[in-house]
Amino acid sequence: MTARSDLTRRGFLGTSLLFVAGAAVACSSDPQGTASAKGAKVTLTQWYHQYGEEGTQAAVKRYAEQYTKANPDVAINVVWGADTSQYETKLNAALLGADAPDVFELGDFRAEMALKGQLAPLDDVYGSAKDGFNQADLDYLTVDGKIYGMKTIDDVMVMYYRKSMLKKAGVTPPTTFTELVDAAKKLTTGDVKGLFIGNDGIGDSPYLLAWSQGRDLIKDGKVVYADAAQSIGGLRDLHSDKSVLLGFTTDWYDPGAFTQGATAMQWGGLWSLPAIEKALGDDFGVVPWPGYDSSGKPVARLGGWTQAVNAKSKHVDEAKKFLQWLWIKQSEIQIDWAVKYGFHVPPQTEVAAKTPGLNKGAAKDAVEIGTKYGISFPAEWTQAMQAEFIAAAADIAKGAAPEKTLKKAQSKAQSDLDKQMG
């Protein structure tokens, strides 16, 4: 329910239902009044963007009913709203007004929201359970030493490879970038390309290259991705021998290129694994993006949605209690949300370990990869920074000087960061 879901989101619904003592009632323009009439002392409004996966809306309603049944003094007003492209705009506007939600989703966690005082810190919500969460998620959600969000799912991104194709070419899954370039070249034959990382030939690769060299995008308030000029410069090598698949009918977040045999290796998400398994049986495996060299490190990007509490809510304590109940205490709900309406990983490692479908084969490998090598964008990362970074990487792939090109983009990104951090 992350990057690949952009394709399945539909338009704005704007529907809401109020849950009181385990039952749904018609939601008036004054849900607080309606809740009071039913005996609830507090009404929490919870916003979701509109998931495209069938069953998600019914699921969040069921979770709210379960909570209000156990906590009859609290009513939950579930608002099922805009698609991904509209959701953040509507949320930002709502947070400035009097009708802001108490609990809400974030597709991209942003440090700026915490610094502006829009998000309540959740360290007390995590409590002793903190040690059971994926550390990469905690790092992602931490600003100035405090945690401001709670992941509801992890979308692990990994490298898929066709076992039979690699065996035929005498290739083993790459463990360094040099091995990746060599493998992609050897696996390119006829109508088959060795590697698919996106229709633009870039995809996530600039981030992965930087991280796999042990470099950061942002560190200590400074944009520093030009430090990864060496590894990002490797894009020229990948593209020079034309072993990268370009312009397929679907992009990297869909498994079509891989299942249809157009590529031997593809960067993609765990959400694609059921479709790949259905098409290829056990003729595939998963590995992290390889370390750049022997001093680098393998990496796997983590996506997924986060829930947060409005710091200006009139019911911060009640909202925190609800979030804790939902995403820490209710493992059955966390499992249901992760695998019944898609294929994702619960952020708590113990819950992930007992989730059906994630405890065997390539899925188990992917979960272990996410736990060991998972990494997310910095909380300060913005869409503007991303556009500049990807454009610079695309120029490098075409032959531009890596360090000069990255430093130019980095300078613009630093200006953006300085404004954001005040």
If one looks up domain 156-301+382-420 in CATH, what number appears? 3.40.190.10
| Span of 30-39, 82-91, 205-214, 249-258 with lowest mean pLDDT | 30-39
- Mean pLDDT computed over 355-375: 96
- Mean pLDDT computed over 340-364: 96
Kindly tell me if the per-residue pLDDT of 360 is higher than 60.
yes
- Mean pLDDT computed over 106-131: 95
Burial label, 422 (beta-carbon count in 10 A; 0-12, 13-18, 19+): exposed
Angstrom distance (rounded) from CA 152 to CA 334: 7
How do residues 155-212 score in pLDDT, each as one tens digit?
A: 999 999 999 999 999 999 999 999 999 999 999 999 999 999 999 999 999 999 999 9
How do residues 53-103 score in pLDDT, each as one tens digit?
A: 999 999 999 999 999 999 999 999 999 977 777 898 899 999 998 889 999
- Mean pLDDT computed over 2-17: 41
Are the C-beta atoms of residues 72 and 21 closer than 8 Å to each other? Answer: yes
Q: DSSP 3-state assignment of 324?
A: helix
- Indicate the average pLDDT of the chain: 91
Q: What per-residue string of b and e applies to 35-54 under the rule 16 or more CB within 10 Å gives b?
A: beebebebbbbbbbbbbbee
Instruction: Identify the bridge partners of residue 48 per DSSP, sorted by sequence position.
Output: 80
Tell me the pTM. 0.90
Domains 3-154+304-364 and 156-301+382-420 share a fold: yes
Would you place residue 28 in the very low, low, confident or very high pLDDT band (cuts 50, 70, 90)?
A: very low
pLDDT, position 16: 66
More confident site: 23 or 239: 239
- Mean pLDDT computed over 394-406: 97
- Mean pLDDT computed over 302-310: 96
- Mean pLDDT computed over 257-274: 98
82: tokens are: 């805009």
Q: DSSP 3-state assignment of 377?
A: coil
Are the C-beta atoms of residues 20 and 51 closer than 8 Å to each other? Answer: no
Give the E-state strand segments of 22-89 in sequence order. Answer: 23-25, 42-48, 74-80
pLDDT, position 98: 85
More confident site: 403 or 82: 403
Kindly tell me if the per-residue pLDDT of 22 is higher than 90.
no
pLDDT, position 86: 86
Domain coordinates in residue numbering, the chain = 3-154+304-364, 156-301+382-420
Structure letter (DSSP) for residue 119: B
**AA letter at 121:** P
Would you place residue 40 in the very low, low, confident or very high pLDDT band (cuts 50, 70, 90)?
A: confident
Q: Is 3.40.190.10 the CATH classification of the domain at 3-154+304-364?
A: yes
Angstrom distance (rounded) from CA 83 to CA 8: 9
pLDDT, position 268: 98
